[in-house]
Amino acid sequence: MTVALTELISAPRNLWRAFKIWLHDRMPRGLYARALLIVILPIVLLQSAIAYVFMERHWEVVTYRLSAGVAREVAAIVETYKDFPDDPDHEKLRRIAATAMSVELTVLPRETLPEPKKRGSLFSLLDTALNKELARRIAQPFSVNTGQSRNFVEIRVALNDSTLRMLFNRSHAYASNSYIFFMWMAIASIIILAVATSFLRNQIRPILRLAEAAEEFGKGRDVKFTPKGAREVRRAGAAFLEMKRRVERAIEQRTTMLNGVSHDLRTIITRFKLSLALMGEGNEAVEMRKDVDEMERIVEAYLAFARGDGGETSTPTDIAVILDELKADSERHGLTTTLTIDGDPTLVARPASIKRLFANLVGNAQRYGQKLEFSIQNDGRSMFVHIDDDGPGIPLEKREDAFRPFYRLDESRNQDTANSGLGLAIARDIARSHGGDIELDRSPLGGLRATVKLPI
């Protein structure tokens, strides 16, 4: 019982939810289209309502009034005909009908009335109205023929000895200029639509600009943006600018601090090296020198990582040139290297950072592989760069770890090298600051494939 009751209560709610989902799927996605819909839908509904009321009421009333007039004229002609049987050839009656009523009258011998011919359903209103009004006014049998000619309505009245045939102008009996009403309605709609379209476009443009600016900033590019448009949009724009300023200030502070740190540490290391040089060629001194060199490298790498992009500005950068240089370098080291380019290899980026990104990836590949393959693909929205090698690769479960700062896969692999384990972390940081990312995968060559994805 309770189950049935809850089902009964929840059924309309479910229906409503299904309707909402259905509507949501069919609503246009863009703000512009949605706003236009909000403007157009009420106009269409309103105009349909007006058109309906007009057709139903106004048009009907006018047609009935006109038909009543026609019926009166028919009655007058019939009565006059009956009262003046001596009129030779009914000449006078015909003349009066023609001049006073614009009716073409013919007197025919008595005949059976023809079946009425109708002109489409649009004119059935005229037929009904005329038939009703005539039936009210004349006692004789009559027939209405609206379907014979474009311009005339034919009415026949059967009398004892003859048949009267009257041709009325259609405009006499019928409100035929209603198309003007619809024309005005269409023109008004088009004007409203044009005004709404241009108005909406102007309102939506600042929102689009804000979205573009935020996107550009996300890709780490220079943004020139001034808030414009309606108050709410300007507020969002101002908030975006404030956020951007805060981020930039934080980056600037970090850069200044790191420059200080790096300067101080370098001074000390240089002093160390100088002292070691003065110590001569003893066994200990050689060991210490090696340690100091390693320390210097690690400090440099660490600072480079922490410094990030260091305020570099974005310019159109040719990735093919960068990879070509790296290719030449690995060939000098005796490795076979190929480079394939598919699509435009340029994109807006910070050149030194991007160079470091690829140098780090290629550096790894060079260390582990004998055969390298670089490829660039541009699909118009993103650029994909693959760096493949035929080395040992990285097992699936360790690929994410490899991006962690100071992470080295296994200590035995690079015992004697002074690698900081920062290369991939730095590379990913650079890719992400450009709005992209790096993924590691299995290479078709057997080793590691590093894929850099960058937005155009």
Ligand X SMILES: Nc1ncnc2c1ncn2[C@@H]1O[C@H](COP(=O)(O)OP(=O)(O)OP(=O)(O)O)[C@@H](O)[C@H]1O
What residues line the site for ligand X (CB under 6 A)? Answer: 301, 360, 364-365, 368, 389, 391-394, 402, 407-409, 413-414, 419-425, 447-448
- Shortest CB 364 distance to Mg ion, Å: 4
Query: Which long-range contacts link 406-410 to residues 24+ away (Cβ below 8 Å)?
Result: none
> Nearest to Mg ion by Cβ — which residue?
423
Using alpha carbons, select from 348, 398, 338 the residue that is nearest to residue 371: 338
Tell which positions 398-437 bind Mg ion, by CB under 5 A. 423
Going by C-beta distance under 8 Å and a sequence separation of 6 or more, which residues neighbour residue 332? Answer: none
- Shortest CB 428 distance to ligand X, Å: 9
- Shortest CB 327 distance to ligand X, Å: 16
- Residue closer to ligand X by CB (options 314, 337) is 337
Residue 221 CA to residue 434 CA, distance in Å, equals: 7
Neighbours of 441 (CB within 10 A): 15
Q: Give the dihedral of Cα atoms 12, 14, 17, 19; nearest 10 deg.
A: -70
Give the pair of three-digit tokens for residue 183. 């024309």
Residue 124 CA to residue 361 CA, distance in Å, equals: 83
- Shortest CB 453 distance to ligand X, Å: 18
CB under 5 to 8 A by kind: which of Mg ion, ligand X, none does 402 bind?
ligand X
- Residue closer to ligand X by CB (options 247, 352) is 352
CB under 5 to 8 A by kind: which of Mg ion, ligand X, none does 454 bind?
none
Residue 187 CA to residue 427 CA, distance in Å, equals: 61
Contact stretch for Mg ion (CB under 5 A) within 24-32, 161-169, 271-279, 362-370:
362-370
- Residue closer to ligand X by CB (options 311, 392) is 392
CB under 5 to 8 A by kind: which of ligand X, Mg ion, none does 421 bind?
ligand X
CB under 5 to 8 A by kind: which of Mg ion, ligand X, none does 394 bind?
ligand X
Please answer whether residues 350 and 434 qualify as being in contact, where contact means their C-beta atoms are separated by less than 8 angstroms. yes
- Shortest CB 325 distance to Mg ion, Å: 18
What SS3 string covers 411-429? CCCCCCCCCCCCHHHHHHH
Task: Please work out the total of residues on this chain that contact Mg ion, with binding judged by CB under 5 A.
Answer: 2
What three-state secondary structure class fits 51? helix
Going by C-beta distance under 8 Å and a sequence separation of 6 or more, which residues neighbour residue 328? Answer: none
- Shortest CB 431 distance to Mg ion, Å: 15
- Residue closer to ligand X by CB (options 58, 404) is 404
> DSSP label at 280?
-
- Residue closer to ligand X by CB (options 164, 438) is 438
- State the greatest distance between any 2 C-alpha atoms of the chain, in Å, as a whole number: 156
- Residue closer to Mg ion by CB (options 298, 341) is 298
- Shortest CB 426 distance to Mg ion, Å: 9
- Shortest CB 323 distance to ligand X, Å: 16
Give the pair of three-digit tokens for residue 122. 């649009």
- Residue closer to Mg ion by CB (options 240, 368) is 368
- Shortest CB 322 distance to ligand X, Å: 17
Residue 255 CA to residue 251 CA, distance in Å, equals: 6
- Residue closer to Mg ion by CB (options 353, 378) is 353
> Nearest to ligand X by Cβ — which residue?
423
**What's the one-letter identity of residue 339?**
L
- H helices present in 144-177, as ranges: 170-173
CB under 5 to 8 A by kind: which of Mg ion, ligand X, none does 408 bind?
ligand X
What three-state secondary structure class fits 15? helix
> Per CB under 5 A, does 364 bind Mg ion?
yes
Binding residues for Mg ion (CB under 5 A): 364, 423
